[in-house]
């Protein structure tokens, strides 16, 4: 085993001691798209003892452009991402305990799913679940690494309970709700998530070995422009999460779904969203599907899926009774 990690242990930041610490560590990766596959690959190859990969989706052809762990055979076999990732990574490093979990992470199951992980890595494509990770992190004092990538850009930041501002502190500056871009509407080129996923991996390694060089700045990159910036983030004085109010974990906010009996449709509620701008949403969605709207509702159709969206963020997803699928489509196209 020493031989397998000899080059990594030669690096002074890790060393033999650090290698041992990695081997005794456990990580939870939530979301296994472009970011998640890069992070999982790095950490399993690096010899982290336990790697849990949680994702709700199946693999589609348009994922292969950037999701490095998957191939065409996985699609032919109809494998969920978490299972395909587990199978590939077990072949890479059989000494690591790799566990793929197919699940839609929400406030009822996230604490159980994260379990006693030493760190949580963000491979997500939606804000709602990040707020949940943030609550779990602060409540159980588990560090996490936020990361997101879209188009040619991305950002990442370490969130260490008690030491750094949290994700709610950060996000009050980042987003205007209801106008969040998603990969399915804005597109993405692979080097953006590759770099952000790599930065998340190295921060995870540093936190796990107890390195001194742990930054709490927000890193923002644009691979097309070749830019790389660091920003100091200040804690928010009135941040509920920092004051021990875990509102997302209590299920107070966030997306909720209800299957509408006999209608073959699922209703999606998103109480935190505020007033949506149909004009902006329509401009994004018409790139990928058909959109019509008036002041009361917006109709969006893509492939066999149809969605009706209301100004308060509520949506009806038609032609399905699968609540998890409806949440996924909502996160993809409206942004949660
Ligand atoms: Zn905070």
pLDDT > 50? residue 176:
no
Tell me how far the alpha carbon of residue 255 lies from the centroid of ligand 1, in angstroms: 21
Q: Which has more pLDDT, 222 or 295?
A: 222
Q: What does the alpha-carbon distance between residue 246 and residue 136 come to, in Å, rounded to a whole number?
A: 8
Instruction: Give the mean pLDDT of 27-44.
Output: 98
Tell me how far the alpha carbon of residue 143 lies from the centroid of ligand 1, in angstroms: 13
Grade residue 260 by pLDDT with cuts at 50, 70 and 90: confident
Write down the pTM of the prediction. Answer: 0.85
Residue whose tokens read 């890193």: 219
Judge whether 19 and 8 are in contact, CB under 8 Å. yes
Residue-level pLDDT at 178: 43
Give the side-chain half-sphere CA count within 13 A for 124: 25
Grade residue 2 by pLDDT with cuts at 50, 70 and 90: low
Residue whose tokens read 């909502």: 330
Grade residue 180 by pLDDT with cuts at 50, 70 and 90: low
Q: Which has more pLDDT, 42 or 264?
A: 42
Residue-level pLDDT at 264: 86
pLDDT 10s digits, 120-133: 999 998 888 999 99
pLDDT 10s digits, 42-90: 999 999 999 999 998 889 999 999 999 999 999 999 899 999 999 999 9
pLDDT > 50? residue 40:
yes
Residue-level pLDDT at 101: 95
Residue-level pLDDT at 137: 98
Contacts of 164 (CB under 8 A, 6+ apart): 157, 158, 216, 233
Residue-level pLDDT at 16: 96
Tell me how far the alpha carbon of residue 235 lies from the centroid of ligand 1, in angstroms: 6
Instruction: Give the mean pLDDT of 198-208.
Output: 98
Tell me how far the alpha carbon of residue 272 lies from the centroid of ligand 1, in angstroms: 17
Residue-level pLDDT at 174: 61
Q: What does the alpha-carbon distance between residue 100 and residue 57 come to, in Å, rounded to a whole number?
A: 12
Instruction: Give the mean pLDDT of 17-40.
Output: 98
Residue-level pLDDT at 262: 75
pLDDT 10s digits, 282-324: 999 999 999 999 888 899 999 888 999 988 888 999 999 898 8
Sign of CA dihedral 8, 10, 12, 18: positive
Instruction: Give the mean pLDDT of 28-39.
Output: 98
Backbone phi and psi for residue 295, each to the nearest 5 degrees, phi listed first: -75, -15
Tell me how far the alpha carbon of residue 173 lies from the centroid of ligand 1, in angstroms: 12
Tell me how far the alpha carbon of residue 27 lies from the centroid of ligand 1, in angstroms: 23
Grade residue 225 by pLDDT with cuts at 50, 70 and 90: very high
Residue-level pLDDT at 56: 86
Tell me how far the alpha carbon of residue 22 lies from the centroid of ligand 1, in angstroms: 28
Tell me how far the alpha carbon of residue 243 lies from the centroid of ligand 1, in angstroms: 8
Residue 41 DSSP class: H
Q: Across the chain, what does the average pLDDT equal?
A: 91
């Amino acid at each position: 085993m020493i031989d397998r990690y000899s080059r990594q242990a030669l690096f002074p930041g890790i060393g033999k001691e650090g290698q041992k610490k990695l081997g005794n560590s456990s990580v939870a990766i939530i979301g296994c798209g472009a970011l998640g596959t890069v992070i999982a690959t790095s950490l399993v190859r690096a010899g982290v003892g336990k790697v849990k990969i949680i994702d709700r989706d199946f693999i589609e052809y348009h994922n292969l452009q950037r999701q490095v762990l998957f191939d065409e055979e996985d699609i032919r076999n109809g494998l969920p991402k978490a299972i395909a990732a587990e199978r590939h990574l077990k072949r890479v490093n059989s000494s690591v305990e790799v566990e793929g979990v197919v699940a839609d992470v929400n406030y009822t199951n996230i604490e159980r799913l994260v379990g006693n992980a030493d760190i949580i890595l963000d491979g997500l494509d939606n804000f709602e679940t990040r707020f949940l990770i943030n609550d779990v992190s602060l409540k159980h004092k588990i560090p996490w690494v936020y990361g997101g990538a879209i188009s040619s850009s991305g950002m990442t930041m370490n969130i260490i309970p008690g030491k750094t501002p949290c994700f709610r502190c950060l996000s009050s500056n980042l987003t205007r709700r209801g106008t969040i871009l998603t990969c399915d509407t804005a597109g993405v080129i692979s080097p953006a998530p590759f770099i952000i996923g790599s930065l998340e991996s190295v921060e995870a390694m540093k936190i796990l070995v107890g390195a001194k060089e742990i930054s709490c700045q927000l890193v923002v990159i644009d691979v097309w422009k070749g830019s790389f910036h660091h920003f100091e983030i200040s804690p928010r004085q009135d941040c509920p999460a920092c004051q021990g109010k875990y509102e997302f974990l209590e299920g107070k906010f966030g997306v909720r779904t209800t299957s509408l009996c006999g209608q073959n449709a699922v209703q999606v509620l998103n109480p935190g969203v505020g007033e949506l701008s149909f004009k902006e949403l329509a401009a994004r969605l018409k790139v990928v599907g058909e959109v019509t709207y008036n002041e009361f509702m917006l109709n969006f159709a893509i492939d066999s899926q149809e969605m009706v969206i209301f100004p308060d963020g509520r949506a009806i997803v038609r032609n399905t009774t699968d609540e998890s699928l409806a949440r996924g489509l909502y996160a993809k196209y409206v942004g949660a």
